Amino acid sequence: MIYHAVPLADWAARPEAPYAPASLAEDGFVHCSPDEATTLAVADAFYRDAPRPLLVLLLDEERLTARLEYEAADPVPPPGVAGDVLFPHLFGPIDRDAVERVLEVRWDAAGRAIGLEPSDTEATGHR
């Protein structure tokens, strides 16, 4: 499983289509994380001001149709992530059939991402 963070509004906007975040057009790939701890570090570093709820899609790599490559962070990984961690980059949209589970980021009072919990949101386009 790999992880992808996405605001609920973005994920639910076009449930009939594969999900293509802005990073696909801007960077040429969809940013993903290899595990929960890295996902939380990414959420904490890049999504503190994102609209809530912030969802995390658990993706079954075998059901993705686009090319997936593990690459080093460029220029550096977010705080709390070791320099040797490789990040999954998906070179195409996320197939909704590849979504195994939808979780939600839990935040502490200081606005830090501290955990993932089951999402009670079913309007996600998840299979």
Q: What are the structure tokens assigned to 91, written together?
A: 């070179």
Q: Which CATH number fits domain 2-111: 3.40.50.300, 3.20.170.20, 1.10.8.420, 3.40.50.880?
A: 3.20.170.20
The pLDDT score that the predictor gives to residue 120 is: 78
Model confidence, pTM: 0.92
The pLDDT score that the predictor gives to residue 30 is: 98
How many residues appear in the chain? 127
The pLDDT score that the predictor gives to residue 84 is: 96
The pLDDT score that the predictor gives to residue 65 is: 97
Domain ranges of the chain: 2-111
Instruction: Give the chain's radius of gyration (CA, Å).
Output: 14
Bond from prior residue into 75 cis (ω within 30 degrees of 0): yes
The pLDDT score that the predictor gives to residue 121 is: 67
Task: Spell out the per-residue pLDDT of the chain, length 127, in tens.
Answer: 999 999 999 999 999 999 999 999 999 999 999 999 999 999 999 999 999 999 999 999 999 999 999 999 988 999 999 999 999 999 999 999 999 999 999 999 999 999 999 987 654 444 4
The pLDDT score that the predictor gives to residue 125 is: 47
Strand 54-59 versus strand 2-7 pairing type: antiparallel
Which residues neighbour 46 within 8 Å (Cβ) at sequence distance 6 or greater? 78
The pLDDT score that the predictor gives to residue 124 is: 43
The pLDDT score that the predictor gives to residue 127 is: 44
Closest CA to 31 of 42, 44, 16: 42
The pLDDT score that the predictor gives to residue 123 is: 41
